[in-house]
Chain A
């Protein structure tokens, strides 16, 4: 387990000893702000990165919609932390699909391309550039491969969760994951990906067919 990964870090570790995930979830379901803030701080970064890779510049708006939709149904959720991640990313995926349906009817604008972050803090500049480069490289993948790589390696979902979420068989998910990583490695090795690199959006139509 990578404790640095926001997608795989246990929420209870982010809480700082206040309580386990169940307690945080129960408090959030009762509308306690500290619990809601804990969940948001733990899951907003991977959610935002996933949506950046899937939706581009509209990621923040889509993320807000995902949170608000999830908040309206939070009282119905039952499950552990892994299930909660899958539950949240399922909504994120649906919202991403909706975004792509709308974007497919609109001409591609420059604003849809990922923009390099310009963090003011010194230590985060390189990290932010590396993140932008990684997302740009991910966006060059076909959508189904990109989606599986993101859900597996960013959101931390297992094969069965991704298969249930995407409506594919577990074997298909494994194959897509393997092909996505191989293609990602080839792209990273052959090209010196910089944040200024414009990823192609040709794979968006594939998502609609998925």
Chain B
């Protein structure tokens, strides 16, 4: 693809004084003096220095920018813990219907029955998938859902006259877990993982005291393995009166097969931008709804979507319920990311019960198949599986032998993968595996894509055996090569100078 020499110009550098795109509607009211309407001392002296570009140039600029992005519709994205599955195009069509897209959030509920019904039905569906009866769609992202979960836990304990100060998280937890705990005013206590990849039950027993408010867990864990001690974990945690919180990042492995509610979790959050196909958008938007057990229901955020039976044979009426005296309150404005709900609802309606189960079955099949392919000779001795078990929807390899034997690190392997037109897996997470590579293919990839990925990894290792410098200086064929991140952190330049 041809690359123009001015590809790297910003929209500001393409500006020329006097150029414009916007044409204002005609002023159709009598014009009054500006000073009369807004006294000069309230006004800015200079207009913000926004770009001055005509429309064709704006479109060309952003189109060309877009081509400097790798994306899921173009190639394989085996990012562990991110569930990069196909984003169905139907969803954009239905989300764009004006009845959904141009609906004001403060429209009277009697005139937003379609929206409220959709939210109610989505809640019911998510509750069924999680195995918990009550759902709030309000949180805007996974970490927002986690915060909700910890705040709900706090409200529950305080309502029972109980002051607790600690929250337990496994040492392989996603960084949002401990950050959330601190924001919610608790102290983080880490629980160890054993060599089978499960929570260390002895360590948990030692740390699960009456001072603990909650254990935050994900199952399958962040190393892609089903938590074999989950029943004992539930007994220990509930035994000290703490709540059990489920991080739903790995839900793609178990839909229709088992449910966190049935495992004893009290609070579950979902990432609609993971299992439920909301497009990642280059880093948002998403949504992080939560499902909770009966005893946590009173504390759910305000407002809640509810349904009332219709009168005189009319259908059910949906509403927003603000009358929730024990609620933790609001977590954000309005009702949540409705545009995301429309897409997730369309997904669930398209798949149904059997489809969702198939998703998890094939996600786990694909992951185990890819693991088997990568455990062949030529790869396994450099990138062994961190845990010798059947995995679920993702698995962890360690690049430590590769580093010792071939002199290239996980980072170098990732950068060299870019030259082969695939997105690298998640690297250096989870923290408990040295030189970690966390790989999640998802169910929407073909077998030949998985085969090709395994072949590419083998190829890169062969290259490195001959010349480790190749990977160390990769990538070569991307729009830019390795970037100086230290410089960007030392002397941050976060806006265009003018």
Q: Are A and B part of the same complex? A: no
Binding site for A on B (CB under 8 A): none
Binding site for B on A (CB under 8 A): none
